[in-house]
Amino acid sequence: MMNLRHEALDKEYELEWKKNQDLRMGYTAERMTAHSERIARGKKRCESLSEQLARQQKSSRLLLFKRAAMNEERDADTTVFTEHKDGCKSALDAAVSNLAMAPEYVTRLDSDVDINKQETDDILASNYRTPMEGDVVDDRDPFMNDVRTRRRAFQVELDAQQNHLAAEFGVCESLLRRISGFITRLNEETAIAVTEDTLIVEYHAFLDSEKKLIADEEACREQKKAYLTSLLTDAGNWVYDALHDHSKRKKREADRLVKQALRASELQRLVQHFTHRVIEQEERIMRQKQRILLGEHKLEMLKSSDSWFLHVTVHTPDIGKHDAKCLEMARKEREDDILQGGKLLAEDDGDTTSVTAELAKSKACADEKSVKRDVWAYVEEVYNADKPQEKD
What's the pLDDT tens digit per position in 182-196? 888 889 989 999 999
> Is the pLDDT at 228 greater than 50, yes or no?
yes
User: If we measure between CA atoms, which residue out of 333, 348, 331 comes closest to residue 272?
Assistant: 333
In a domain, 315, yes or no: no
In a domain, 136, yes or no: yes
- Neighbour tally for 92: CB within 10 Å: 19
In a domain, 142, yes or no: yes
Q: What residues make up the domain containing 173? A: 7-235
In a domain, 97, yes or no: yes
pTM: 0.59
Q: Which residue has the higher pLDDT, 228 or 72?
A: 72
In a domain, 305, yes or no: no
In a domain, 249, yes or no: no
What average pLDDT does this structure show over 233-246? 83
Q: How far is CA 5 from the centre of its chain?
A: 70
In a domain, 278, yes or no: no
- pLDDT for res 205: 93
> Is the pLDDT at 135 greater than 50, yes or no?
yes
- pLDDT for res 220: 93
In a domain, 112, yes or no: yes
Question: How many separate domains does the chain show?
Answer: 1
C-alpha to C-alpha distances, 262 to 316, 336, 380, nearest whole angstrom: 47, 18, 49
> Is the dihedral angle over the CA atoms 373, 377, 379, 383 positive or is it negative?
positive
